[in-house]
Amino acid sequence: MSGSFRVESLTSSEFLKEIHYLFWRAPFNNKGAHDCGWGCRDHAAIVTLLLRNFNIPSFLCSGRMALVTGPNGGPRSYGYTVDVHSWTFVEGIGWLDISIRVPRQIAPWGKWKIEGLIGTSIQANLPTLFSVVKSSAEFENDLEAAKCVPGGRAAIYHIQGHQPGHTLSIDNLTRWVDSPHSRRVAAEFPSDPIIYLKAAYHLYMLIEGRRETLTSLPKAEVWKHISQISDEAVLSSMPRVLRPTAAAGLRTPR
């Protein structure tokens, strides 16, 4: 196991391109609501596993998230809310959310691109404000305030729950994630209960320069290649995922 891993690796362009190719999907109707196909719970679970493998304390957070823009050359504002949303809190660094994809069905947002939430700021090509709140009232207040800022952009998070990363179950992780993507993968590979752990391994080895990108493959072939990774390679390279260490004095997200 290499000592070269850095949390910043999870926000590199190479890593983002790879994890998005694995877990982003085309927009779809999800139980009657428009879903941009972010795969936020899938992203957060994989990120949490990678952090855990290097004994980096983290929490898997859940709640709501809204992207908002104020009026720009006209009276209209725009908003898009993800309910439920998942992301990560990393001890010593702050918030981490690399699943965000700006909805293209909102025409004025065509030039707005977000790389992710990193620490205490949104990394984007256009200035974007950021806040995390703990109550529904604060969430609604921040949302309405953002809609009134001419030309403004904001990402607003409402944290409603959090789970320490070292308690995340890896026993049939696809079932634990329980997202549209994980359910499809589980149905396609029913005899491979650690296929999401294999995805984490692939991403880690990509960072280390020991595996090639899968982005050149057709989407239909990607998970076949991941399933072909041997159980032994994964289990020997990611020991702390199997035997996590509880982080003493871990501070909760704030």
CB-based contacts of 254: which residues, under 8 Å, 6+ apart?
A: none
Encoded tokens for 134: 């703990």
Query: What would the pLDDT profile of 217-251 be if each residue is shown by its tens digit?
Result: 999 899 999 999 999 999 899 988 877 776 655 67
Could you tell me if 54 and 190 are in contact, meaning their C-beta atoms sit under 8 angstroms apart? no
The CB-based long-range contact list for 221-225 (8 Å cut-off, 24+ gap) reads: 222/21, 222/22, 223/185, 223/188, 223/189, 223/195
Q: In a 10 Å sphere around its CB, with 0-12 CB exposed, 13-18 middle and 19+ buried, how is residue 48 labelled?
A: buried
Helix, strand, coil tally for the chain in percent (to 5):
35, 25, 40
The per-residue pLDDT for 247 is 62
Q: 120 or 133: whose pLDDT is higher? A: 133
User: To which residue do tokens 């850095």 refer?
Assistant: 6
Encoded tokens for 175: 């079932």
The per-residue pLDDT for 1 is 39
Q: Residue 235: CA atoms inside 13 Å, Cβ hemisphere, count?
A: 5
List the single range of 131-145, 187-201, 240-254 with lowest mean pLDDT: 240-254
CA dihedral 51, 56, 62, 65 (to 10 degrees): -80
Q: Find the mean pLDDT for residues 22-36.
A: 84
Provide the percentage of residues in the chain whose pLDDT is more than 90: 77
The per-residue pLDDT for 240 is 84
Tell me the C-alpha distance between 40 and 43, whole Å: 5
CB-based contacts of 226: which residues, under 8 Å, 6+ apart?
A: 22, 195, 198, 199, 202, 214
Residue 69 in this model has a pLDDT that exceeds 50: yes
CB-based contacts of 194: which residues, under 8 Å, 6+ apart?
A: 170, 173, 231, 234
Tell me the C-alpha distance between 207 and 10, whole Å: 8
